[in-house]
């Protein structure tokens, strides 16, 4: 793990040793996951360049290190102060800056403009609340966006919002969502199957990336499911590592027999909840499940990645709070690849129905996998435009 985050926040990063540099910023864990296929593509497309990846959070940094090791260099993004950002950009001297999703920092963009570093936004999205925020500072937003070399927008709506804020229409392209191009690690399916077989024949469902106020509802639904089938197993994976202990305590208070994945992944027959308390194993655990509930959606968070279980052919269930990925959610629902529930009782009813209807469960999973396959292509479009900007550089 990086040990000099405080100095890095002030722009004190080492130079790249004479190698040309590409710099990609992915704010946190979720953005790193989304950007992973693009990072791999950049390593293939520009092998002579040093690739620097910055994050805002330590969990994002840990994910970068876990996936890429020393193939990329990680730093924390500097604070948006003029001296810090100028120092950071001068020391990296990147040929291109790539921002994953939308995180616009005025001083950082000004530092790039000062050194003639082109900036592109990939997988760009502007939710309604973010759009309203930037509109409050219309002149500043216009100044930032007019300096962007290219924006790859997730949807036509996102593209319209970028241009309404001041981006040149000729520099905005609707690429689709990079999340559809998620790469499944080789051996993932086998690893999930091996793990699942070690648990014996039982119905397994997962609640991934859950938040406070959501775990209680998930456990209430699981209690109803266990009344229907006492052998059912819940894999509960909180979104944030600092909540692992509290969620384990909550499970025990609710009368569940809990096993921590980090301590005993084999799971004995008496366990009713497997607590996913490791980083980077969510996909393997999704692959073990008969049904996946994706968190951040029963509470007003905006939802998390619905496509991870869908890509594995696992039926997807979510709550109604999906503001951060509305287009993806609607696409899955339109193709009968996602079920939406409002509360714990509705979640329990769906789980029991899918428990008893193997054909419907398999159909939902197959539909989700088909939606992911049909919408791939954002990565190829993004790679092509990045290569074009690099050539113009």
Catalytic residues: 31
CA atoms within 13 A on the CB side of 57: 12
What span, in angstroms and rounded, lies between the C-alpha atoms of 133 and 127?
10
- Would you say the C-alpha torsion 40, 42, 46, 52 has a positive or negative sign? negative
Among 288, 334, 335, CA closest to 308: 288
Work out the number of other CB atoms within 10 angstroms of the CB of residue 250. Answer: 20
Kindly list the strands in the beta sheet with 233-238, ordered across the sheet, starting from the edge strand earlier in the chain: 258-260, 273-275, 233-238, 204-210, 291-294, 316-318, 338-340
CA atoms within 13 A on the CB side of 248: 15
Structure token digits, residue 246: 């509290």
Among 80, 83, 79, 115, CA closest to 97: 115
Tell me if 52 sits within 8 A of 75, measured CB to CB: yes
Report the run of H or E that residue 304 belongs to, with start and end.
none
What span, in angstroms and rounded, lies between the C-alpha atoms of 366 and 374?
12
For residues 184, 334, 327 and 344, what is the CA-based torsion angle, rounded to 10 degrees? -80
Among 281, 311, 282, CA closest to 296: 282
What span, in angstroms and rounded, lies between the C-alpha atoms of 124 and 133?
16
What span, in angstroms and rounded, lies between the C-alpha atoms of 188 and 10?
39
Contacts (Cβ under 8 Å, ≥6 apart) of 329: 303, 306, 318, 322, 338
Site of tokens 């600092």: 242
Q: Which residues pair with 100 in a beta bridge?
A: 122
Tell me if 26 sits within 8 A of 56, measured CB to CB: no
């Amino acid at each position: 793990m990086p040990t000099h985050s405080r100095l890095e926040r002030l722009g004190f990063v080492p130079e790249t040793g004479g190698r040309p540099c590409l710099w990609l910023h992915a704010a946190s864990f979720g953005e790193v996951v989304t950007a992973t296929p693009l990072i791999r593509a950049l390593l293939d497309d520009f092998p002579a360049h040093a690739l620097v990846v910055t994050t805002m959070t330590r969990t994002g940094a840990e994910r970068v290190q876990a996936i890429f090791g020393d193939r990329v260099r990680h730093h924390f993004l500097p604070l948006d102060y003029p001296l810090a950002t100028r120092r950071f950009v001068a020391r990296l001297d990147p040929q291109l800056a790539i921002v994953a999703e939308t995180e616009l920092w005025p001083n950082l963009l000004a530092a790039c403009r000062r050194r003639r570093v082109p900036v592109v936004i990939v997988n760009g999205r502007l939710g309604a609340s973010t759009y309203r925020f930037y509109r409050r500072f219309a002149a500043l937003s216009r100044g930032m966006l007019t300096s962007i070399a290219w924006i790859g927008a997730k949807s036509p709506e996102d593209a319209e919002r970028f241009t309404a804020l001041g981006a040149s229409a000729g520099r905005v392209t609707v690429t689709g969502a990079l999340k559809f191009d998620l790469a499944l690690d080789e051996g993932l399916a086998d690893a999930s199957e091996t793990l699942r077989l070690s648990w014996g024949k039982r119905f397994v469902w997962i609640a991934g990336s859950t938040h406070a106020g959501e775990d209680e509802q998930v456990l209430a639904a699981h209690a109803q499911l266990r009344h229907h089938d006492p052998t059912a197993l819940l894999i509960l994976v909180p979104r944030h590592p600092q909540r692992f202990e509290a969620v384990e305590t909550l499970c025990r208070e609710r009368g569940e027999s809990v096993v921590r994945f980090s301590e005993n992944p084999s799971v004995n027959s008496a366990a009713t909840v497997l607590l996913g308390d490791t980083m980077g194993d969510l996909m393997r655990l999704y692959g073990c499940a008969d049904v996946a509930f994706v968190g951040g959606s029963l509470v007003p968070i905006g939802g998390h990645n619905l496509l991870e279980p869908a890509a594995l052919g696992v039926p997807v269930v979510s709550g109604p709070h999906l503001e951060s990925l509305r287009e993806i959610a609607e696409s899955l629902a339109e193709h009968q690849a996602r079920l939406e529930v409002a509360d714990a009782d509705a979640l329990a009813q769906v789980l029991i129905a899918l428990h008893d209807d193997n054909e419907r469960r398999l159909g939902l999973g197959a539909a989700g996998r088909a939606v992911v396959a049909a919408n791939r292509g954002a990565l190829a479009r993004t790679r092509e435009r990045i290569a074009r900007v690099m050539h113009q550089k």
